Chains A and B, each alone.
Chain A
């Protein structure tokens, strides 16, 4: 009896809680998704296209693709087939219940508001109940961001594949995060002083990098940051690790661009409420922007020019734009899946549909240097594929089938369980289930 039950659970939950061998064998299966309207993103849409998934990778995409005899065929006629979406700025997995401190793992105290050594993914909970709803609704890749302070720490790009954090990591670190929009949270008095502090960190990192031996002999002056923070900043000043600068005001974005030029940094603008005002400069500097499309409130003196056309205007100017959700905030981790709504609104406010799809798939993959792994349906890419009932951005459309690395995980989310439990209510105050 006990054995039978566990078999049943194993079958219904998928393999993630069980042996890796089971996972691998399941992933080795070949799947052919046929007849759908296929959006590879890296190329033009294919009506009635076929997508072949083998060994967790995309094996072929096209209109006339030979289907291996042993393939499991999935008829997607009338459906839309896209790469899995990438939410490129979230705190999914590092916040479970934002008002319960014990479940908040997105920030580090650091030293004097500098926490460059903080690796946010080490605190990620792959068993968070928030992951399944995101996965189920078509998000297959995320960038988990640290937040707070001047230098918040390091972000990671993760697959939402069920398993351990180790299984999930695609690139970690994928970027360093700094917040330069608010002097008080950086522990200084003004914008200019904030940049002084950031410059001091960059200078110290340079110095630390070249005088390492002297540092170890305790023959250097004191540094603004700790040893581990300086160490973590080295790839940033080498230009190999992007620095995400979270910033809204146009003048602050301009200052970030000056800083990047001065130190040869590879930067990405995060938030960027007023980025549209400096769109040409961002395009010329080839600086990607991560921004939403549902913000239009002059909600602070740093974001007076915030508007929903931001993403579309940036794209039109030639900026690589990735769409992100409503940013760190109360229901953010609950609603990672609402990325599609951002994309739809971006279209309503001037972005082309194709660019909006790109902004939730290939654009972030390129911005983070992982387009060889995710973000498009091309041979060799991870087999992250979503079959949608219709236009994925429409609120009435559903992600009917979601494949991550070639596998489906048809799990019940906690929300599904609650909905099922309370769908039929008894005539008393008793619980609807007797057990």
Chain B
């Protein structure tokens, strides 16, 4: 049935290239997609007009030993070791051989985790010190704005970035806000000091598309519409109908190059890329009944929802999320601030995990993002209190490999395994303890945060002079 719908709606090419549920398909390289492109070529799949200029900071070959390791890929390794070399994890295990020139760090009594990943951040687009001048997260001028890209709002000098790094977060998905039905493209950033947003962009990461259900769009557009939930749904469907026609036109032209290239449309370019499976859907949606409707809309148009964000009622629909392969990006304990958040329960994350769906702790908050393992610890405690057996090995996945999957980056980050990027956090104690703090943070093998070396702490331009130095 779904195959048929796919053929009817999408055309064979898009179906063939659309990744399956495991989405292991690597993105088409730029040179492939650029072949034979004339004017208007950015409507080609995977066009990349603002390419990443990220270059890893210099790192040393480093061995951390005698340390407890949450790999997010297996049981806790007590008193183990890890070797970071050439920006990658070279080896991890009980004992690891190190070259003679390696920097040796004794991790006795400490813990290692993968660099944490927050897949719901507004850093840079709602930068500190706040106010209208730095409020760049919601293009609330039209209910559907697939044509905006969050990266064009990101201020790399937002002082929230270094605080996030000090909280052990090495990868962020920065999303547009939730005022709109379709809010625009997200961007995946490495939490590194850079003069430009391009210098922070995760090379090769897919874009995400922010969609929003429920109260926010109908409140923001109450006077011009949509002003109801049914108006919201009509809005999504109208957008996808237009996008589907656009995609078909461009895919045909990309194949036969007959006549002039079709006119470009920024919004439909993004939506067409969703339909081709190259952009991942991150859908702000609180209520179970609305999530079920969003799943049906995705099926109608042949795309997949990668993650429901906020999902305070995900526990009511955890079986469906598991069946559909949709992750739940959730808070440990936010709720009741609006009607659609009324049924929040603290066991939400645990219940979603138990049902077999990928559970993710997300923040949507510059403060909470700095304490993701504390949030996970609260969610774990609530699950255990509700009678759901959980381990720390499971809970660490909520802030590492599961959000990595939601970004399509689980082959590169999110666990401590040989060959993966050396994004690593050394914690002063068990990361689920309220008393533990990140001591050292490596991004691609470069130590970018060392709590004990305050003079080297990353300070954004804004902070100079304005924010007092805290060295005590």
Instruction: Report which A residues bind B (CB closer than 8 A).
Output: 96-100, 130, 277, 294-301, 303-305, 307, 309, 313, 326, 330-331, 333-335, 338, 341, 344-345, 347-348, 350, 393-398, 415, 418-419, 422-423, 425, 427, 429
Contact = CB atoms under 8 A, between A and B. Distances in A.
A347 B128 CA distance: 26
B231 to A, nearest CB: 19
6 contacts: A97-B337, A303-B129, A333-B336, A418-B343, A419-B347, A425-B319
B346 interface: yes
Given A296-B163, A298-B129, A334 B434 contact: no
Contact of B333 (A296, A334, A350): A334
B103 interface: no
A296 B370 contact: yes
Given A345-B371, A348-B437, 7 more contacts: A97-B338, A298-B462, A334-B333, A394-B433, A396-B380, A398-B385, A429-B292
Interface residues of B, number: 54
B201 to A, nearest CB: 23
Contacts of B160: 297
B335 interface: yes
Nearest to A417: B345
A90 to B, nearest CB: 14
Nearest to A431: B316
A415 B386 CA distance: 11
Contact of B371 (A294, A304, A313, A396): A294
Nearest to B435: A348
A338 B462 CA distance: 32
Given A299-B129, A330-B337, A422-B351, A341 B374 contact: yes
Contacts of B355: 425
The residue in A96, A97, A397 that gathers the most chain B C-beta atoms within 10 A of its C-beta is A97
B155 interface: no
Contact of B345 (A313, A341, A398, A419): A419
A300 B129 contact: yes
Nearest to A294: B367
Interface stretch (B6-14, B59-67, B107-115, B463-471): B463-471
B339 interface: yes
Q: Which 4 A-B pairs have the closest CB atoms?
A: A344-B434, A330-B337, A395-B377, A99-B338
Given A97-B342, A422-B351, A331 B335 contact: yes
A331 to B, nearest CB: 4
Interface string B295-338: 00000000000000000000110110000000000000111111
A309 B437 CA distance: 13
A277 B470 CA distance: 11
Given A348-B435, A395-B434, A297 B159 contact: yes
Contacts of B20: none
Contacts of B73: none
B366 interface: yes
Given A334-B337, A423-B386, A348 B367 contact: no
A124 B381 CA distance: 30
Given A423-B386, A425-B319, A295 B367 contact: yes
B409 to A, nearest CB: 26
Contact of B381 (A98, A305, A348, A398): A398
B344 interface: yes
A410 to B, nearest CB: 14
Nearest to B355: A425
Contacts of B292: 429
B336 A130 contact: yes
Interface in B366-396: 366-367, 370-371, 374, 377-378, 380-381, 384-387
Interface in B239-297: 292
B343 A298 contact: no
Main secondary structure of the interface of A (DSSP, over half): loop
Given A97-B339, A297-B163, A422 B316 contact: yes
A291 to B, nearest CB: 14
Contacts of B318: 425
B329 to A, nearest CB: 16
Given A294-B371, A298-B463, A331 B347 contact: no
B367 A298 contact: no
Given A298-B463, A419-B345, A330 B334 contact: yes
B215 interface: yes
Given A297-B366, A298-B129, A419-B315, A304 B335 contact: no
B109 to A, nearest CB: 16
B21 interface: no
A350 B470 CA distance: 13
Contacts of A427: 319
B432 A348 contact: no
Contacts of B385: 398
Contacts of A418: 343, 345
Nearest to A397: B381
B396 to A, nearest CB: 14
Contact of B378 (A99, A303, A395, A425): A395
Contacts of B315: 419, 422
A298 B467 contact: yes
Contact of B434 (A326, A394, A398, A419): A394
Contacts of B435: 344, 347-348, 393-394
Contacts of B436: 348
Contacts of A295: 367
Given A97-B336, A99-B337, A297 B351 contact: no
Contacts of A98: 336-338
Given A277-B468, A348-B435, A394-B433, A423 B336 contact: no
Interface in B424-456: 432-437
Nearest to A301: B129
A394 B343 CA distance: 26
B438 to A, nearest CB: 11
Nearest to B385: A398
A130 B336 CA distance: 9
